[in-house]
Structure 1
Amino acid sequence: MAMFFDPFREFDRMAEQLFDRQGPRLMPMDLYRDGDHYVLSADLPGIDPGSVDIDVDGQLLTIRAERTARSAEGVKWITRERSTGSFLRQLNLGQGIDTAGISATYDNGVLSVLIPISEKAKPRKIEVQRSVGGAQEVTPELTA
Protein backbone atom coordinates (compact mmCIF):
# COMPACT_ATOMS: atom_id res chain seq x y z
CA MET A 1 0.00 0.00 0.00
CA ALA A 2 1.39 3.41 -0.99
CA MET A 3 1.36 6.08 1.71
CA PHE A 4 1.54 9.82 1.07
CA PHE A 5 2.88 12.04 3.82
CA ASP A 6 2.55 15.82 3.69
CA PRO A 7 4.08 17.37 6.83
CA PHE A 8 2.22 20.66 6.36
CA ARG A 9 -1.16 18.91 6.11
CA GLU A 10 -0.34 16.95 9.26
CA PHE A 11 0.66 20.18 11.05
CA ASP A 12 -2.63 21.84 10.01
CA ARG A 13 -4.59 18.83 11.19
CA MET A 14 -2.84 18.77 14.56
CA ALA A 15 -3.29 22.54 15.03
CA GLU A 16 -7.01 22.19 14.27
CA GLN A 17 -7.35 19.42 16.81
CA LEU A 18 -5.46 21.35 19.48
CA PHE A 19 -6.85 24.85 19.06
CA ASP A 20 -10.28 24.53 17.45
CA ARG A 21 -11.57 21.17 18.62
CA GLN A 22 -14.69 22.50 20.35
CA GLY A 23 -15.56 25.44 18.08
CA PRO A 24 -17.87 25.35 15.07
CA ARG A 25 -16.36 24.68 11.64
CA LEU A 26 -16.96 26.94 8.68
CA MET A 27 -18.90 25.51 5.77
CA PRO A 28 -17.77 26.54 2.25
CA MET A 29 -20.55 28.17 0.26
CA ASP A 30 -21.47 29.93 -2.97
CA LEU A 31 -24.02 32.74 -3.11
CA TYR A 32 -25.46 34.25 -6.28
CA ARG A 33 -28.51 36.11 -7.54
CA ASP A 34 -30.75 34.36 -10.06
CA GLY A 35 -33.60 36.59 -11.18
CA ASP A 36 -35.81 37.51 -8.23
CA HIS A 37 -34.06 35.37 -5.60
CA TYR A 38 -30.64 34.56 -4.18
CA VAL A 39 -29.30 31.01 -4.11
CA LEU A 40 -26.96 29.87 -1.34
CA SER A 41 -25.21 26.52 -1.85
CA ALA A 42 -23.23 25.16 1.11
CA ASP A 43 -21.07 22.03 1.06
CA LEU A 44 -22.04 19.71 3.91
CA PRO A 45 -21.01 16.19 2.85
CA GLY A 46 -21.76 13.43 5.31
CA ILE A 47 -24.20 15.55 7.32
CA ASP A 48 -27.45 14.01 8.50
CA PRO A 49 -30.14 16.31 7.00
CA GLY A 50 -32.03 16.04 10.30
CA SER A 51 -29.15 17.82 12.04
CA VAL A 52 -29.39 20.91 9.80
CA ASP A 53 -31.00 23.88 11.53
CA ILE A 54 -31.79 27.12 9.67
CA ASP A 55 -33.05 30.14 11.61
CA VAL A 56 -33.97 33.69 10.65
CA ASP A 57 -33.89 36.26 13.44
CA GLY A 58 -34.70 39.69 12.05
CA GLN A 59 -32.27 39.99 9.14
CA LEU A 60 -29.77 37.38 10.42
CA LEU A 61 -29.80 33.97 8.70
CA THR A 62 -28.06 31.24 10.72
CA ILE A 63 -27.25 27.77 9.38
CA ARG A 64 -26.09 25.07 11.80
CA ALA A 65 -25.27 21.44 11.09
CA GLU A 66 -23.66 18.55 12.94
CA ARG A 67 -21.43 15.75 11.68
CA THR A 68 -21.00 13.02 14.26
CA ALA A 69 -17.96 10.78 14.39
CA ARG A 70 -18.50 7.20 13.39
CA SER A 71 -17.85 5.01 16.34
CA ALA A 72 -15.64 2.14 15.37
CA GLU A 73 -14.35 0.35 18.40
CA GLY A 74 -11.18 -1.62 18.01
CA VAL A 75 -10.07 0.07 14.79
CA LYS A 76 -6.66 1.65 14.30
CA TRP A 77 -6.99 4.88 12.36
CA ILE A 78 -4.41 5.36 9.59
CA THR A 79 -5.58 8.87 8.82
CA ARG A 80 -8.58 10.90 9.92
CA GLU A 81 -9.02 14.15 7.98
CA ARG A 82 -12.79 14.64 7.89
CA SER A 83 -13.83 17.02 10.65
CA THR A 84 -16.64 16.19 12.98
CA GLY A 85 -18.63 18.47 15.21
CA SER A 86 -20.66 21.60 14.60
CA PHE A 87 -20.71 23.67 11.44
CA LEU A 88 -21.97 27.26 11.50
CA ARG A 89 -22.58 30.04 9.00
CA GLN A 90 -24.33 33.39 9.58
CA LEU A 91 -25.35 35.98 6.99
CA ASN A 92 -26.85 39.44 7.33
CA LEU A 93 -29.69 39.49 4.79
CA GLY A 94 -30.30 43.20 4.42
CA GLN A 95 -33.66 44.93 4.05
CA GLY A 96 -34.89 43.75 0.62
CA ILE A 97 -35.41 40.08 1.50
CA ASP A 98 -38.69 38.19 1.90
CA THR A 99 -37.65 36.27 5.04
CA ALA A 100 -41.00 34.43 5.21
CA GLY A 101 -40.39 32.85 1.80
CA ILE A 102 -36.95 31.31 2.47
CA SER A 103 -36.79 27.59 1.64
CA ALA A 104 -34.06 24.93 1.77
CA THR A 105 -33.23 21.52 0.29
CA TYR A 106 -30.40 19.05 0.91
CA ASP A 107 -29.20 16.88 -1.96
CA ASN A 108 -25.96 14.92 -2.47
CA GLY A 109 -24.14 16.69 0.35
CA VAL A 110 -25.11 20.21 -0.75
CA LEU A 111 -27.52 22.40 1.20
CA SER A 112 -29.36 24.82 -1.13
CA VAL A 113 -31.18 27.79 0.38
CA LEU A 114 -33.46 29.93 -1.81
CA ILE A 115 -33.78 33.49 -0.52
CA PRO A 116 -36.49 35.47 -2.35
CA ILE A 117 -36.28 39.20 -2.88
CA SER A 118 -39.29 41.11 -1.53
CA GLU A 119 -41.70 42.70 -4.00
CA LYS A 120 -40.89 46.24 -2.84
CA ALA A 121 -37.16 45.68 -3.45
CA LYS A 122 -37.57 44.38 -7.02
CA PRO A 123 -36.69 46.74 -9.85
CA ARG A 124 -39.66 48.49 -11.37
CA LYS A 125 -40.33 51.01 -14.10
CA ILE A 126 -41.41 54.53 -13.10
CA GLU A 127 -43.66 56.28 -15.56
CA VAL A 128 -42.54 59.79 -16.42
CA GLN A 129 -45.29 62.40 -16.62
CA ARG A 130 -44.92 65.10 -19.25
CA SER A 131 -45.43 68.69 -18.25
CA VAL A 132 -46.51 71.52 -20.53
CA GLY A 133 -45.30 75.02 -19.69
CA GLY A 134 -44.33 74.14 -16.14
CA ALA A 135 -47.66 72.49 -15.36
CA GLN A 136 -48.22 68.79 -15.46
CA GLU A 137 -50.23 67.68 -18.46
CA VAL A 138 -53.55 66.29 -17.41
CA THR A 139 -56.01 64.61 -19.69
CA PRO A 140 -59.38 66.35 -19.41
CA GLU A 141 -62.24 64.33 -18.09
CA LEU A 142 -65.35 64.20 -20.16
CA THR A 143 -68.38 65.61 -18.42
CA ALA A 144 -71.89 65.15 -19.59
Structure 2
Amino acid sequence: MSDIRKTEEKGFPRVKPATDIVEAEDGFYIYMDMPGVSKEALVIDLNEDEIKVSGRSAYPAPDGEKLIHVEFGNGEYYRGFTLSHIVDKSRIRATLKNGVLELHLPKAEKAQPRKIDIQMG
Protein backbone atom coordinates (compact mmCIF):
# COMPACT_ATOMS: atom_id res chain seq x y z
CA MET A 1 0.00 0.00 0.00
CA SER A 2 1.45 3.37 -0.92
CA ASP A 3 -0.28 5.20 1.95
CA ILE A 4 1.52 3.24 4.68
CA ARG A 5 4.78 4.52 6.12
CA LYS A 6 6.62 3.52 9.29
CA THR A 7 6.69 6.21 11.94
CA GLU A 8 10.25 6.76 13.01
CA GLU A 9 9.83 6.94 16.75
CA LYS A 10 7.56 3.98 17.51
CA GLY A 11 7.74 1.65 14.52
CA PHE A 12 3.95 1.74 13.98
CA PRO A 13 2.77 1.86 10.39
CA ARG A 14 1.38 5.30 9.52
CA VAL A 15 -1.78 5.22 7.42
CA LYS A 16 -3.59 7.99 5.60
CA PRO A 17 -7.21 7.22 6.55
CA ALA A 18 -9.94 6.96 3.92
CA THR A 19 -11.69 10.33 3.90
CA ASP A 20 -14.88 11.82 2.47
CA ILE A 21 -15.49 15.59 2.37
CA VAL A 22 -19.03 16.88 1.88
CA GLU A 23 -20.21 20.47 1.49
CA ALA A 24 -23.59 21.29 2.98
CA GLU A 25 -25.47 24.53 3.41
CA ASP A 26 -24.23 24.93 7.00
CA GLY A 27 -20.60 24.00 6.33
CA PHE A 28 -18.27 21.18 5.45
CA TYR A 29 -18.24 17.65 6.85
CA ILE A 30 -15.12 15.51 6.87
CA TYR A 31 -15.57 11.80 7.54
CA MET A 32 -12.44 9.78 8.32
CA ASP A 33 -12.26 6.01 8.72
CA MET A 34 -10.23 5.37 11.91
CA PRO A 35 -11.06 1.87 13.18
CA GLY A 36 -9.68 0.93 16.57
CA VAL A 37 -8.93 4.54 17.61
CA SER A 38 -10.33 5.59 20.98
CA LYS A 39 -11.21 9.15 21.97
CA GLU A 40 -8.14 9.17 24.24
CA ALA A 41 -5.84 8.17 21.37
CA LEU A 42 -7.19 10.83 18.98
CA VAL A 43 -5.58 14.27 18.59
CA ILE A 44 -7.01 17.12 16.51
CA ASP A 45 -4.81 20.22 16.29
CA LEU A 46 -5.84 23.52 14.70
CA ASN A 47 -3.03 25.94 13.87
CA GLU A 48 -3.86 29.02 11.81
CA ASP A 49 -5.45 27.61 8.61
CA GLU A 50 -4.32 24.02 9.05
CA ILE A 51 -6.07 21.20 10.88
CA LYS A 52 -4.14 18.02 11.67
CA VAL A 53 -5.77 14.77 12.76
CA SER A 54 -3.84 11.86 14.22
CA GLY A 55 -4.86 8.78 16.12
CA ARG A 56 -3.40 5.48 17.21
CA SER A 57 -5.03 2.08 17.24
CA ALA A 58 -3.61 -0.61 19.50
CA TYR A 59 -4.57 -4.26 19.57
CA PRO A 60 -3.06 -6.35 22.36
CA ALA A 61 -1.29 -9.52 21.29
CA PRO A 62 -3.31 -12.61 22.24
CA ASP A 63 -1.87 -14.59 25.17
CA GLY A 64 -0.48 -17.99 24.27
CA GLU A 65 -1.15 -17.63 20.55
CA LYS A 66 1.33 -17.48 17.70
CA LEU A 67 0.55 -14.86 15.06
CA ILE A 68 1.04 -16.29 11.58
CA HIS A 69 -0.12 -13.30 9.51
CA VAL A 70 -1.19 -9.88 10.81
CA GLU A 71 -3.07 -7.18 8.90
CA PHE A 72 -4.97 -5.96 11.95
CA GLY A 73 -2.52 -4.45 14.35
CA ASN A 74 -1.07 -1.38 15.94
CA GLY A 75 -1.14 1.60 13.64
CA GLU A 76 -1.12 5.34 13.47
CA TYR A 77 -3.48 7.45 11.35
CA TYR A 78 -2.51 10.91 10.16
CA ARG A 79 -4.13 13.46 7.86
CA GLY A 80 -3.82 17.22 7.48
CA PHE A 81 -6.04 19.76 5.71
CA THR A 82 -5.75 23.44 4.82
CA LEU A 83 -8.92 25.32 5.75
CA SER A 84 -10.66 27.92 3.65
CA HIS A 85 -11.20 31.43 5.01
CA ILE A 86 -14.96 30.79 4.95
CA VAL A 87 -14.70 28.21 7.78
CA ASP A 88 -15.61 29.50 11.24
CA LYS A 89 -12.68 27.93 13.11
CA SER A 90 -14.13 28.76 16.53
CA ARG A 91 -17.13 26.46 15.96
CA ILE A 92 -15.45 23.29 14.59
CA ARG A 93 -16.89 20.13 16.17
CA ALA A 94 -15.60 16.56 16.22
CA THR A 95 -17.49 13.31 16.86
CA LEU A 96 -16.00 9.81 16.98
CA LYS A 97 -18.49 6.96 16.58
CA ASN A 98 -18.06 3.35 15.44
CA GLY A 99 -14.54 3.98 14.11
CA VAL A 100 -15.55 7.01 12.03
CA LEU A 101 -14.43 10.54 12.91
CA GLU A 102 -16.81 13.29 11.80
CA LEU A 103 -15.49 16.84 11.70
CA HIS A 104 -18.02 19.61 11.15
CA LEU A 105 -16.46 22.80 9.83
CA PRO A 106 -19.24 25.41 9.86
CA LYS A 107 -19.23 28.25 7.37
CA ALA A 108 -18.62 31.70 8.81
CA GLU A 109 -21.61 34.01 9.07
CA LYS A 110 -21.78 36.19 6.01
CA ALA A 111 -20.99 39.83 6.52
CA GLN A 112 -24.18 41.84 6.69
CA PRO A 113 -24.52 44.53 4.06
CA ARG A 114 -24.64 48.03 5.46
CA LYS A 115 -25.34 51.51 4.18
CA ILE A 116 -22.59 54.06 4.16
CA ASP A 117 -23.60 57.38 5.66
CA ILE A 118 -22.74 60.39 3.55
CA GLN A 119 -21.43 63.38 5.46
CA MET A 120 -22.06 66.93 4.26
CA GLY A 121 -18.82 68.84 4.00
Q: TM-score, normalised by structure 1?
A: 0.66
Structure 2 distance, partners of 1:35, 1:93, is 17
Relative contact order, higher structure (CA 8 A, sep 6+): 2
1:1-144 alignment runs, 5 A limit: 20-22=5-7, 24-120=14-110
Q: Structure 2: 5+ residue runs without aligned partners?
A: 8-12, 114-121
* Structure 2 match to 1:137: none
Which digits, 9 at most, give the CA deviation of each residue in 1:78-119, with x for residues without a partner?
321124232110000021110010001111111101000111
Q: Which has the higher helix share?
A: 1
RMSD: 2.0
Q: Structure 1: 5+ residue runs without aligned partners?
A: 1-11, 127-144
Letter in 1 for 2:6: R
Q: Which has the higher strand share?
A: 2
Letter in 1 for 2:47: D
Say which SS state the counterpart of residue 38 (structure 1) adopts: strand
Q: TM-score, normalised by structure 2?
A: 0.77
Which digits, 9 at most, give the CA deviation of each residue in 1:31-67, with x for residues without a partner?
0111121000000111112111111100101101011
Instruction: Give % identity.
Output: 25
- The count of residues paired between Structure 1 and Structure 2 equals 106
Letter in 2 for 1:43: D
